A and B are shown apart, each in its own frame.
Chain A
Amino acid sequence: MKTKIIALSALAALVAGCATTPSDEEIAARSLAVMKAGFKERGQAKLDRLDQDNLQRTCSIYSGGNEMPKEVAARIEKEQLASIRYPADGKLLGDWKAGEKIAQSGRGGQYNDNPKAPSGANCYACHQLTKQEVSYGTIGPSLFNFAKVRGFGPDVQKYAWNKVFNSHAYAACSSMPRFGHRGILTEQQIKDVVALLMDPNSPVNK
């Protein structure tokens, strides 16, 4: 009798395990648990980096061939646009030479980086910016002649500021980090990279 019960419950477990393929939510919950158990905090990189904000969660769902509905994209862009803040002095442009250094530096955010040192932005990891720098990546479009093509006026300045502050304001689920929104760059650093894009004397516009 006893063996029969064990055999039966084993069978039930088997059927439960095989017949029902886990739902997507179940897999998602399982994956998060597996991730939480699979990492250790190190340096500045704590375990809460595995937790997702709304944007990260939505963008993860609509990836890997799962197309994002237009209204979801529109909602994301509206929300992210609302997160953008501007300098109190109203000036969006800093020093393009400082901006070039920030665009070159890949430092910041990794567990082996010193959290006290200022972060770079590593724009060159993903973008062409100047003719001088030939070691540039192609994850994002070329930004060479950015303002020369689009114009040097206040609207374009604001667009450049917004894009660096929170790229998702215009492109939901962009691959580009939210440098302002996530506090990767300081306000002054954002001014400097915006100047790199916008200053008529910047090599970007030569």
Chain B
Amino acid sequence: MNQTWERAARAACAIVALTACGASAQERSAVEEIERYRQALGDGNPAELWEARGESLWKEKAGPKNASLEKCDLGLGPGVVRGAYAQMPRYFADSGKVEDLESRLVTCRSTLQGIAPEEAKKNPFGGPGRKTVNDALVAYITSESRGIKMNVQTSHPKEAEAYEVGRKIFFHRGGPYDFACATCHGVDNIRIRLQDLPNLTKQVDAQRAYTSWPAYRVSQGEVRTFQWRLEDCFRQQRFPHLDFTSEASIALTMFLAKNANGAPFNAPSIKR
């Protein structure tokens, strides 16, 4: 661990201690702490550890077929990683489905490595003492789109349909609190407590939000992927549990990703 990271880790502990106090006036200083943390890191981001691990996992032989993922087609041809994420979700003729990155990885791990899809979908998100293949691969592959403009297409009918379905899900009010995504993300310049809420129906906000995921969450010490973000917002929405790689999550991602078109992708980032 180099010096910057040591300093950063100390700052991170301070933030965790602060946020543990709960939602109160202290959140303000937590925001300031994050800023200090960002500065301490300079250009570094602990997500780089996930990226490096993901690159190894991509190239290592694994699974019953003892194969690497290097022939995985992320949309730009087998093995092409650079820029692929900026054009996802997209329709894949081999699976006959619209897939986002996380579901595409399940497909590739199954077809190339022989890992059963149910197995590949198990425990996708890391936690204390548990590092996952999904988090690492996503960190690596997304990092290879850094600086590339989002360019998600809906030219295939299934892509167009996914976008429209995603849009409907975004505005679908339900549950005991009558919430939809749009309740918290459909208005300009609002916040919950002190957390700013992007208006994801508006291009500039959608661009800023979408291109900043996945993110290393300081408060959790983990890289969190976009499907994780959706799952956690559905929890706050009082909805049931979103199934990892479900068509619903892919459609919603399609809606948000396309709304972000035109902006350079800039993640894995770092967040509170």
Contact = CB atoms under 8 A, between A and B. Distances in A.
Interface of A: 17-18, 21-22, 27-28, 30-31, 34-35, 37-42, 45-47, 49-52, 55-56, 59-60, 63-64, 104, 106, 109-112, 124-126, 133-139, 175, 177-178, 182-184
A112 B238 CA distance: 10
B257 interface: no
Given A133-B25, A139-B190, A45 B240 contact: yes
A63 B165 contact: no
Please list the 9 inter-chain residue pairs (A to B) with the smallest Cβ-Cβ separation, ordered nearest first.
Answer: A38-B248, A38-B246, A31-B168, A42-B241, A39-B240, A109-B238, A49-B175, A177-B177, A56-B173
A39 B180 CA distance: 15
B173 A59 contact: yes
B239 A138 contact: no
Nearest to B158: A17
Given A34-B247, A34-B248, A109 B193 contact: no
Interface residues of B, number: 52
A168 to B, nearest CB: 9
A21 to B, nearest CB: 8
Given A110-B236, A112-B235, 7 more contacts: A22-B164, A27-B164, A31-B164, A60-B171, A64-B170, A109-B238, A138-B190
A206 B37 CA distance: 38
6 contacts: A35-B248, A45-B240, A56-B178, A60-B172, A63-B180, A109-B176
Contacts of B201: 64
A182 B240 contact: no
B186 A47 contact: no
Nearest to B162: A34
B60 interface: no
Interface string B42-73: 00000000000000000000000000000000
B151 interface: no
Contact of B165 (A34, A55, A184): A34
A52 B174 contact: yes
Contact of A134 (B25, B169, B179, B186): B25
Contacts of B165: 27, 30-31, 34
A28 B173 CA distance: 13
Contacts of B183: 139, 175
A59 B175 CA distance: 13
A126 B236 CA distance: 14
B256 interface: no
Tell me which of B27, B190, B192, B249 has the highest count of chain A C-beta atoms within 10 A of its own C-beta. B192
A110 B238 contact: yes
A139 B184 contact: yes
B176 A184 contact: yes
A50 B234 CA distance: 11
B13 interface: no
Tell me which of A31, A111, A182 has the highest count of chain B C-beta atoms within 10 A of its own C-beta. A31
Contacts of A34: 165, 169, 246-248, 251
